[in-house]
Chains A and B, each alone.
Chain A
Amino acid sequence: MLQGEHGPALQLAMRIVSRMAPLYGATTLLPVTRAHIDGVILSGSAGLEFAEKLADLRGQVSVPTTLNVMSMDRERWRDWGQDPEFASRAHRLGQAYQRMGARPTFTCAPYQIADAPTFGEQIAWSESNAVAFANSVIGARTNRYGDYLDICCALTGRVPAAGLHLDEPRLATVVLELERFPSALVERDDFYPILGYLIGSLVESEIAVITGLETRPSSDLLKSLTAAAASSGSVALVHIAGVTPEAQTSVEALGGRPPVRTRTVSLTDLREARAKLSTAPGTDLDVVAFGSPHCSLAECRALAGLMAGHRASPTVDVFITTSRAVRDLLARSGDLATLERFGARVTADTCIVVAPLVRIGARVLMTNSAKYAHYGPGLLGVDSVFATTEACVASAIAGEVCRDDGPWAT
């Protein structure tokens, strides 16, 4: 490939992968079976120029490749007031990747679509939450591939043979021992993102195994945990004893070795992590958002159940961000109409932190997503309120923040 016998796009991609390999500590490359591309988010001009260059050179992905969220809703961007010039550049970027053979999935939860990776599969994924979910919950193997190494791996079908692709670096060295928490706490849907957010702040590049979790959370709850851990820190893999596939027991996750350190996780730790997720002290409310990572069909249906027969306050903008695949199913089942009667904007392909969807001047964002709550202040200039799904819906109806501290109250 390096000699250009397979064309100039592959030659360029291979040169970049090969130059990066020693920086990962790899002496060889290994083949992957699929890729997920984050470079499809529009930011500036370099990313667009690179993608169009590779596509113009007739680059073609050599493995099945999915695309992350893009910066527009392809079908309904006009309804959401997106700027036509911005939308046109976002569209060009999406097209460049599609010309290279990537599937137009446009979702940050590529593990929840048909044909997700399986246990042990070597993959080249980007998007921090997707990497954390794939490694932790599925047991597929990937490092975090930055812009724009992801497309180079997709074109070549190769990654540096290092890090989380190998056995040993996947073993836990840290044990995070949960104290026994009241079941009223563990049953709340804000428990898992708060736990994840705490984990991200407790480990840096270390691999941790969580022990003492006595429930088996759903895929959607695990998604909220891993996404939160990848927001507050750079967690790419976290094991949960008795839950995730490489941690049937904590001993297995540790590879039979003693941990380098053990840290107890108390209710006080969780309360502190929860407090960090909310930066708005008052009751003013402008925006309520669900769906980072993208809402699954089940999550949208649960929202439809809570929203049916109610209307959001006219002073609050409600966003549900999901994939086109899910929105199309919601349209067929009638749930989309229910959500829209409530006043929710159900956007597809994109989300509120990668496209300018939130109105200028909005000051307070309430969300059940730790990732939205974390990035809101920096990327949108809003204050955040993090809460349960039910409290978010109730607040949208009331037009002001209704907190539901429940067992979190001290």
Chain B
Amino acid sequence: MGHIVTFQTQTVLSGEVFGEALAADAPLSFWGGIDPDTGEIIDRRHPLSGSNVAGRVLVIPFGRGSCSGSGILLESIRNGTAPVAIVTSHIDQIISLGAILGDELYGTYPVVLVMAKEDRLQISTGDMVAIGANGLARITPAGGV
């Protein structure tokens, strides 16, 4: 049984959201990695392959690869298949750009946070994550306290 932990994060795009974590310590490219029509992770070499990011808190070290990733994230936001929040361990320009475009075009965006690696690694798939506007992230372990 785990216990609730709280981490201070750096907010790139802030907001109050709540969702179930989808976490892996492997970078993910949105282009060729996520199907924006469904939210499914389609990179078959990624440990989260087959999972769906829609409505989840996606926790990865960073986004990998192509500049077209921001376009894919924007398309996901438009289609309602984007994560509610994306947590990485350093500022990812492509992810941030997709989220900013979502805000500017559709008035909605995933919250984008940067979290220290040792904190990020404590989040597991299935944990419930509550993010405050101040960037405070409260993690309730899967299965409750």
Chain A contact residues, CB within 8 Å of chain B? 12, 15-16, 19-20, 23-24, 38-39, 41, 43-47, 49-50, 53, 126, 128, 144-149, 234, 378-379
Top 4 nearest A-B pairs (CB, nearest first) are A147-B71, A146-B67, A44-B75, A146-B70
**Pair A43/B71 contact, Cβ less than 8 Å:** yes
Complexed CA–CA distance, A149 and B93 (Å) = 11
B101 contacts chain A at the CB level, 8 A cutoff: yes
B51-87 residues with Cβ-Cβ distance < 8 A to A are: 65-72, 74-75, 77-79
Chain A residues with CB below 8 A from B142, complex form: none
**Pair B104/A147 contact, Cβ less than 8 Å:** no
A15-B104, A16-B104, A49-B105 as given contacts; A149 in contact with B71, CB under 8 Å = no
Chain B residues with CB below 8 A from A15, complex form: 104
Complexed CA–CA distance, A371 and B70 (Å) = 21
**Pair A23/B93 contact, Cβ less than 8 Å:** yes
Chain A residues with CB below 8 A from B37, complex form: 44
Excluding A20-B100, A47-B75, 10 further A-B contacts by CB distance (< 8 Å) are A24-B93, A39-B71, A43-B68, A43-B72, A44-B71, A45-B78, A46-B75, A47-B74, A49-B105, A146-B94
Closest residue of B by beta carbon distance from A127? B67
B136 contacts chain A at the CB level, 8 A cutoff: no
Chain A residues with CB below 8 A from B104, complex form: 12, 15-16
Min distance, Cβ A41 to any Cβ of chain B, angstroms = 8
The one of A38, A45, A379 in contact with B32, judged by C-beta atoms closer than 8 angstroms, is A379
Complexed CA–CA distance, A304 and B46 (Å) = 43
Chain B contact residues, CB within 8 Å of chain A? 12, 32, 36-37, 65-72, 74-75, 77-79, 91, 93-94, 96-97, 100-101, 104-105
Min distance, Cβ A19 to any Cβ of chain B, angstroms = 5
A43-B68, A49-B105, A50-B105 as given contacts; A149 in contact with B97, CB under 8 Å = yes
Closest residue of B by beta carbon distance from A12? B104
Min distance, Cβ B34 to any Cβ of chain A, angstroms = 12
Chain B residues with CB below 8 A from A43, complex form: 68, 71-72, 75
The one of B68, B78, B97, B105 in contact with A20, judged by C-beta atoms closer than 8 angstroms, is B97
**Pair B67/A147 contact, Cβ less than 8 Å:** yes
**Pair B96/A44 contact, Cβ less than 8 Å:** no
Complexed CA–CA distance, A145 and B97 (Å) = 10
Complexed CA–CA distance, A259 and B139 (Å) = 43
The one of A19, A20, A38 in contact with B67, judged by C-beta atoms closer than 8 angstroms, is A38
Complexed CA–CA distance, A12 and B37 (Å) = 26
Sample 21 A-B pairs with CB under 8 A, ordered by A number. A16-B100, A16-B101, A20-B97, A23-B91, A23-B97, A24-B93, A43-B68, A43-B75, A44-B78, A46-B71, A46-B75, A49-B78, A50-B101, A146-B69, A146-B70, A146-B97, A147-B71, A148-B71, A148-B101, A149-B97, A378-B32
A23-B96, A46-B74, A46-B78 as given contacts; A147 in contact with B68, CB under 8 Å = yes
**Pair B71/A20 contact, Cβ less than 8 Å:** no
Closest residue of B by beta carbon distance from A160? B93
Min distance, Cβ B66 to any Cβ of chain A, angstroms = 7
Complexed CA–CA distance, A16 and B70 (Å) = 13
**Pair B71/A145 contact, Cβ less than 8 Å:** no
Chain B residues with CB below 8 A from A49, complex form: 78, 105
**Pair B75/A144 contact, Cβ less than 8 Å:** no
**Pair B100/A19 contact, Cβ less than 8 Å:** yes
Min distance, Cβ B102 to any Cβ of chain A, angstroms = 9
**Pair A38/B68 contact, Cβ less than 8 Å:** yes
Complexed CA–CA distance, A45 and B104 (Å) = 16
Closest residue of B by beta carbon distance from A146? B67
Min distance, Cβ B27 to any Cβ of chain A, angstroms = 10
Min distance, Cβ B104 to any Cβ of chain A, angstroms = 6
Min distance, Cβ B93 to any Cβ of chain A, angstroms = 5
A50-B105, A128-B66 as given contacts; A148 in contact with B93, CB under 8 Å = no
Chain A residues with CB below 8 A from B93, complex form: 20, 23-24, 146
**Pair B71/A47 contact, Cβ less than 8 Å:** yes
Chain A residues with CB below 8 A from B75, complex form: 43-47
Chain A residues with CB below 8 A from B65, complex form: 234
Min distance, Cβ A222 to any Cβ of chain B, angstroms = 21
Min distance, Cβ A10 to any Cβ of chain B, angstroms = 13
Complexed CA–CA distance, A12 and B105 (Å) = 9
Min distance, Cβ B64 to any Cβ of chain A, angstroms = 8
**Pair B70/A149 contact, Cβ less than 8 Å:** yes
Complexed CA–CA distance, A147 and B102 (Å) = 12
